[in-house]
């Protein structure tokens, strides 16, 4: 049986999306900036996709800018906000468990002289709102807090954070800008920027069964950022470069489909997530669920530690059974340690033995039964071998 449980790294493109991308690439290959019919057809596809992405988060079409993916969207928001507010203050704030696209951008700004604050988190990755409140002083100009953590699945209290930022903005000449990386929440959590007062929001296509290499950045109307790319003036002068029309069309379709299917997919993911968590705790002695439960948990992610085992070895043992999981963020897979789990206070043994299971609406109960059997067998085998090796050393 084939079981793919690494959907936080990337999702399988929807068949409808794949067909549309191929069709647009083969037939509607005109440049959207061209004035002839083929150009106008391509421009129409881009317009329709922009409307679909906007509708999926409650935004206006003119507030959506297409990018090459989540990393570009995050970088554009962070460096753009820093540039726009550089004369107002010198403090920028984020959490200790952000995706590398945010964390590394903040590190670069720190090297350039910005005062960077990393908000602490609790054992399950929830940010410290009291620390955020204390840090929102006159020097603070920008805050970036991810919506759903990509390793623990923690849903951050964005509404509460936005309220604190709004209070801090009262009486200021220039508002503190608020950005969220919604790459892991788009299509899985309800997002409505008319209710959630964020200024900037990052999206990525390949996390919602769309194409890789395409994403979007929401920029609230009136939030003026400098362009990140210069050239032909595409994306209303904000992001120059000939539009990737096939991928943009695929992104629009993926946004529509994910919006239509979200409630049903959430129900299915909650069911298999609960099945896997309860099954592991029952079958595997000493296993620790690192992800939060209840409303603070994404239905798409479950992080579990298997003390006495190495997560990377378990990953490859499961791979031999055609089960695909991860030990953490794919963007950090070649780096030693785990910054997110360390910030959450997990022990070295818990970090070493951690696996991330991430689901989609296509994950079935039968697949989870198979995974449970193979996880137990792999953990038992590794612990048995470790015990034999330990006795051999005495």
172's tokens? 């200021």
The reply to whether 182 falls in a domain is yes
The reply to whether 163 falls in a domain is yes
Same domain flag for 135 and 183: yes
Same domain flag for 284 and 363: yes
Number of domains the chain contains: 2
Domain containing residue 232: CATH number: 3.40.640.10
Same domain flag for 306 and 195: no
49's tokens? 């996709």
Q: Are 148 and 292 in contact (CB under 8 A)?
A: no
Final residue before a domain boundary, out of 223, 238, 257:
257
List residues bridging with 22 in a β-sheet.
none
Give this prediction's pTM.
0.94
The reply to whether 327 falls in a domain is yes
The reply to whether 78 falls in a domain is yes
Tell me the DSSP string of 310-337: -HHHHHHHHHTTTEE-BSS-GGGTTSSS
Same domain flag for 35 and 180: yes
CA nearest neighbour of 240 among 250, 231, 253: 231
What H or E segment, with its residue span, contains residue 364?
none
DSSP structural state of residue 239: B
Same domain flag for 220 and 180: yes
The reply to whether 394 falls in a domain is no
* Residues of the domain holding 232: 15-257
Final residue before a domain boundary, out of 198, 227, 257:
257
Same domain flag for 94 and 232: yes
Same domain flag for 101 and 75: yes
The whole-angstrom separation of Cα 204 and Cα 9 is: 11
The reply to whether 343 falls in a domain is yes
What is the mean pLDDT for each group of 10 consecutive residues in the chain (394 residues)?
97 98 92 84 95 98 97 97 93 97 98 97 96 96 98 97 96 90 97 95 98 98 90 85 94 98 97 98 96 90 96 97 85 67 96 97 98 97 73 40
Same domain flag for 280 and 160: no
Same domain flag for 291 and 232: no
The reply to whether 25 falls in a domain is yes
**Per-residue pLDDT, 125:** 96
Same domain flag for 311 and 203: no
**Per-residue pLDDT, 30:** 85
The reply to whether 393 falls in a domain is no
Final residue before a domain boundary, out of 257, 277, 300:
257
Q: Write out the E strands in the chain.
A: 3-4, 64-67, 91-95, 115-119, 140-144, 177-181, 200-204, 215-219, 288-289, 301-305, 323-324, 354-358
Q: Is 309 a catalytic residue?
A: no
Phi-psi region of 308 (alpha: psi -120 to 50; beta: other; left: phi over 0): left
Same domain flag for 75 and 34: yes
Question: Which CA distances in Å does 7 have to 208, 244, 302?
Answer: 9, 24, 11
> Any residues with CB less than 8 A from the CB of 213 and at least 6 apart, and which?
68, 69, 205, 206, 244, 247
Same domain flag for 250 and 266: no
């Amino acid at each position: 049986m084939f079981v793919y449980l690494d959907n936080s790294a990337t999702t399988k493109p929807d068949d409808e999306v794949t067909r549309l991308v191929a069709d647009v690439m083969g037939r509607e290959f005109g440049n959207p900036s061209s004035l002839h019919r083929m150009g106008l057809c391509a421009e129409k596809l881009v317009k329709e996709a922009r409307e679909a992405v906007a509708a999926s988060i409650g935004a206006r079409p003119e507030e959506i800018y297409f990018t090459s993916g989540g990393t570009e969207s995050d970088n554009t928001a962070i460096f753009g906000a820093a540039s726009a507010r550089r004369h107002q203050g010198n403090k920028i704030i984020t959490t200790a468990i952000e995706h590398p696209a945010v964390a590394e951008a903040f590190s670069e700004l720190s090297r350039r002289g910005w005062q960077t604050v990393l908000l602490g988190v609790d054992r399950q990755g929830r940010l410290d709102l009291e620390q955020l409140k204390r840090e929102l002083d006159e020097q603070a100009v920008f805050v970036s807090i991810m919506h759903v953590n990509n390793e623990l699945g923690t849903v951050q209290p964005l509404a509460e954070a936005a309220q604190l930022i709004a209070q801090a903005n009262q009486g200021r000449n220039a508002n503190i800008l608020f950005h969220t990386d919604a790459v892991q929440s788009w299509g899985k959590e309800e997002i409505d920027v008319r209710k959630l007062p964020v200024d900037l929001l990052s999206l990525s296509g390949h996390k919602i069964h769309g194409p890789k290499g395409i994403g979007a950045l929401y920029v609230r109307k009136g939030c003026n950022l400098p362009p990140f790319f210069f050239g032909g003036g595409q994306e209303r002068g904000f992001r120059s470069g000939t539009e990737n029309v096939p991928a943009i069309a695929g992104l629009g379709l993926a946004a529509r489909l994910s919006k239509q299917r979200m409630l049903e997919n959430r129900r299915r993911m909650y069911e298999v997530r609960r099945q896997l968590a309860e099954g592991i705790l029952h079958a595997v002695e000493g296993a620790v669920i690192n992800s939060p439960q209840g409303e603070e948990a994404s239905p798409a992610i479950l992080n579990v530690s298997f003390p006495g085992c190495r997560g990377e070895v378990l990953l490859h043992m499961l791979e031999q059974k055609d089960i695909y999981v991860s030990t953490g963020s794919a963007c950090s897979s070649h780096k030693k340690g785990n910054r997110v789990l360390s910030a959450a206070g997990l022990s070295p043994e818990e970090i070493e033995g951690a696996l991330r299971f991430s689901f989609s609406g296509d994950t079935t109960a039968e697949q989870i039964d198979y995974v449970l059997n193979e996880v137990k067998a792999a953990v038992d085998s590794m612990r048995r071998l470790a015990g034999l090796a330990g006795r051999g050393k005495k």
